[in-house]
């Protein structure tokens, strides 16, 4: 019998566990797999550290502030904003810095002025004042130049990993863009460094962590609050539950009527295809970052700013394609597309490959935040009294790490108030 049972050991679950344990509540975390960390895990392959695609911590985001408050150290460096942008097959200097803007031939002088004013406006923007509309509607209403629009669409993809401007909420997307402009951080050792610190601190706080424990059913129990049945038949009781997995999976677990069944079942995930590559050296050492304004493609060499290899001179880079919702892409064609984009930037790179990993469809965020979406569930995080949700999909105004960590903290705070 525990005060709180947390289903899932990702960043949201561990964040909640820390706040709860520090309030002297007994906490049990259940993880269905053999390892903890969820999608924040880093795999070591041939001595190279691969995140599940390109990961970055937004330095100005709520997630970084919460992790630092919990005593989690964020070791790494911020990448430079310099690089290249592609329009069709033409390459230009990226106008994301003052020097880049002056050097780039991508924008006319009139367009440069519009772009500078737009960046200044985004930096000081109050997100609450943004109307309920899609990101595409906001851009079409506020930007004149087609090339400035293209830059803003690319910047939105970069900040949110989402390629659905006609669907995604302008409020959420602009919030992501705003914090992305405040620089990002690539972590030494990958995001496993976050997972390891959170796990070790949770153990020191007497949080119990039980792996290979797959929850099949959650139902109410008059005496103990909630009864959880595991796939091996084991029964566990808890006064409160925090669920941090996929939203659709919660519907399958709950043997309880609740008003959010349709909300959970209809959530669409943000997806991407990722090619992670380790090289002995970069054929073009100065080409570290590129995006396309006409294709949803991204390239970055994360190891230039973070230690991502047991071997000091190895290179780890990521190439990503942002996928449309429900896009049924041909895996081999997508892989070829990513390889060709790398070849455009790093000709001859295949001669330097140590190892690589291709993931044709990874979940970036379990919920694509839609325009005009106002779910009472995301405001309260309570499916029913005593059962809360947390995760990258459970925050109404943020995504990715910020959504996961902030919702984990809020769910814990709701329970702490209840218990008091």
In CATH terms, the fold of domain 44-77+184-191+269-365 is Polyamine Oxidase; Chain A, domain 2 (3.90.660)
What secondary structure letter does DSSP report for 170? H
Query: Residue 390's pLDDT is what?
Result: 98
Report, as an integer, the average pLDDT of 114-135: 92
- C-alpha dihedral, 345 to 347 to 353 to 355, nearest 10°: 40
Q: Is 208 exposed, middle or buried (0-12, 13-18, 19+ CB in 10 A)?
A: middle
Grouping H, G, I as helix, E, B as strand and the rest as coil, residue 316 is: strand
Confidence of residue 44 (pLDDT cuts 50, 70, 90): very high
Compute the radius of gyration of the chain from its Cα atoms: 22
Q: What percentage of the chain carries pLDDT values higher than 70?
A: 100
Whether the CB-CB separation of 202 and 6 falls below 8 Å is answered with no
pLDDT the model gives residue 97: 84
Is 3.50.50.60 the CATH classification of the domain at 2-40+193-267+369-419? yes
Of 121, 116, 122, the C-alpha closest to 178 is: 122
Query: Residue 317: CB partners within 8 Å, gap ≥ 6?
Result: 276, 277, 279, 282, 299, 300, 301, 302, 303, 342, 346
Q: Is the pLDDT of residue 221 over 90?
A: no
Angstrom distances, CA of residue 359 to CA of 44, 50, 307: 15, 12, 22
Q: Which of 63-67, 100-104, 328-332 has the highest mean pLDDT?
A: 63-67
Q: Is the pLDDT of residue 309 over 90?
A: yes
pLDDT of residue 89: 86
Q: Tell me, what's the pLDDT at 166?
A: 96
* Residue with the two structure tokens 């109050």: 126
Look at residue 377 and tell me whether its pLDDT is greater than 90. Answer: yes
In tens, the pLDDT along 152-196 reads 999 999 999 999 999 999 999 999 999 998 899 999 999 999 999
**pLDDT tens per residue, range 228-283:** 999 999 999 999 999 999 999 999 999 889 999 999 999 999 999 999 999 999 99
The pLDDT score that the predictor gives to residue 19 is: 98
Note whether 292 and 342 are within 8 A (CB): no
Integer angstrom CA distances of residue 352 from 280, 281, 284: 5, 6, 12
According to the model, what pLDDT value does residue 213 have? 96
Percent of the chain with pLDDT over 90: 89
Task: Please say whether the beta carbons of 406 and 63 come within 8 A.
Answer: yes
**Three-class SS of residue 378?**
helix
pLDDT, residue 191, reads 97
Question: Residue 294: pLDDT band by 50, 70, 90 thresholds?
Answer: very high
DSSP structural state of residue 324: P
Query: Coil, strand or helix: which one is 126?
Result: coil
Please tell me if the domain spanning 2-40+193-267+369-419 has the same topology as the one spanning 44-77+184-191+269-365.
no
Q: Are 133 and 170 in contact (CB under 8 A)?
A: yes
Domain 84-180 has CATH 1.20.120: no
Tens of pLDDT along 1-38?
Answer: 899 999 999 999 999 999 999 999 999 999 999 999 99
Q: Tell me how far apart the alpha carbons of residues 413 and 407 are, in angstroms, rounded to a whole number.
A: 10
Residue ranges per structural domain of the chain:
2-40+193-267+369-419, 44-77+184-191+269-365, 84-180
Residue 45 has pLDDT above 90, yes or no: yes
Q: Between these two residues, 233 and 82, which has the higher pLDDT value?
A: 233
Interior angle at CA 249, CA 261 and CA 175, nearest 5: 80
């Amino acid at each position: 019998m525990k005060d709180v049972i947390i289903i899932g050991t990702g960043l949201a679950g561990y964040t909640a566990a820390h706040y709860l344990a520090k309030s002297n509540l007994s906490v049990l975390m259940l993880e269905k797999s053999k390892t903890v960390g969820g999608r924040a895990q880093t795999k070591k392959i041939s001595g190279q550290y691969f995140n599940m695609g390109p990961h970055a911590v937004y330095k100005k985001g709520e997630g970084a502030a919460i992790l630092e408050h919990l005593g989690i150290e964020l070791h790494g460096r911020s990448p430079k904003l310099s690089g290249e942008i592609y329009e069709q097959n033409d390459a230009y200097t990226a106008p994301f810095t003052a020097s880049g803007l002056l050097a780039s031939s991508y924008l006319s002088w009139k367009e440069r002025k519009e772009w500078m004013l737009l960046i200044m406006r985004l930096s000081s923007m109050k997100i609450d004042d943004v109307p309920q509309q899609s990101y595409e509607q906001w851009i079409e209403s506020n930007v004149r130049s087609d090339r400035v629009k293209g830059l803003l669409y690319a910047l939105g993809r970069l900040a949110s990993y989402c390629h659905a401007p006609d669907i995604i909420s302008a409020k959420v997307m602009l919030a992501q863009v705003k914090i992305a402009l405040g620089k990002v951080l690539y972590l030494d050792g990958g995001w496993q460094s976050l997972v390891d610190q959170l796990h070790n601190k949770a153990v020191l706080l007497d949080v119990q962590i039980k792996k290979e424990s797959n929850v099949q059913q959650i139902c109410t129990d008059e005496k103990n609050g909630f009864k959880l049945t595991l796939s091996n038949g084991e029964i566990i009781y808890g006064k409160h539950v925090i669920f941090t997995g996929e939203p659709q999976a919660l519907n399958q677990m709950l043997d309880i009527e609740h008003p959010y069944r349709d909300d959970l079942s209809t959530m669409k995930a943000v997806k991407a295809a990722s090619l992670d590559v380790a090289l002995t050296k970069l054929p073009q050492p100065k080409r570290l970052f590129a995006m396309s304004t006409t294709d949803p493609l991204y390239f970055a060499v994360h190891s230039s700013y973070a230690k991502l290899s047991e071997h000091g001179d190895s290179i780890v880079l990521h190439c990503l394609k942002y996928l449309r919702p429900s896009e049924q892409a041909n895996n081999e064609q997508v892989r070829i597309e990513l390889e060709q984009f790398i070849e455009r930037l790093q000709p001859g790179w295949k001669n330097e490959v140590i190892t690589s990993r291709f993931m044709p469809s990874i979940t970036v965020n379990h919920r694509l935040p839609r325009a005009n979406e106002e779910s009472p569930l995301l405001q309260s995080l309570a499916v029913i009294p005593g059962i809360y949700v947390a995760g990258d999909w459970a925050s109404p105004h943020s995504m990715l790490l910020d959504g996961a960590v902030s919702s984990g903290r809020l769910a814990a705070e709701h329970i702490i108030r209840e218990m008091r």
